[in-house]
Amino acid sequence: MPLPDFTLPRPLAAIARHLPEWPATQAFVTALNVAQIVGRLPGDWSFLDGRIVRIEVEDLETGVSFTRAGGRFRTVSGEPALRFRARTADYLRIALREEDPDTLFFQRRFKIEGDTELGLELKNRLDALPLPAFLARLSQH
């Protein structure tokens, strides 16, 4: 069953705006590092070394910023070289493989700003990863 189209309620964004981004960013980079250690992020990710990437969730008006240094993903602040922006529903559609990021990009629902070459490389790498088992189970329901 496809994911319904939704936008998170504005009161959630009002709350999220006042919360620090650090805990979510730390959880995100920890997940990336664990995935890398257990072989779920195969290949050379050094193209991200020293580059700040920001993933923004439009309907929560928040996001996470990270970089890669010393072979590990790390939290970081500063001006991003690359920014992805989309609503929660669209990120979930991409993660569940219900929608192709390129389709959402051309519909202006998935935005790539900044270094587009870096953005396309990262998008293609993420899109090529196998669907994690827990997401595969979700997409079957």
pLDDT tens string 69-108: 999 999 999 999 999 999 999 999 998 889 999 999 999 9
Residue whose entry in the numeric block shows the structure tokens 């072989």:
39
The residues near 68 (Cβ < 8 Å, ≥ 6 apart) are 45, 46, 48, 49, 50, 51, 74
What is the reported pLDDT for 66? 98
| Segments making up each domain of the chain, as ranges | 10-140
Residue 117's pLDDT band, with cuts at 50, 70 and 90, is: very high
Which residues pair with residue 66 across a beta bridge? 53, 75
For the chain, how far is it from start to end, CA to CA, in angstroms? 6
Alpha helices for the chain (secondary structure H): 10-18, 22-37, 88-95, 101-106, 116-128, 133-140
What is the reported pLDDT for 135? 65
Tens of pLDDT, residue by residue over 38-48, are 998 988 999 99
d(CA 84, CA 114): 9
Q: What angle do CA 127, 71, 33 make, to 5 degrees?
A: 55
CA 96 to chain centre: 13
CATH number, span 10-140: 3.30.1050.10
For the record, the structure tokens of 73 come out as 């993903």
Query: pTM, whole model, 2 decimals?
Result: 0.88
d(CA 126, CA 128): 5
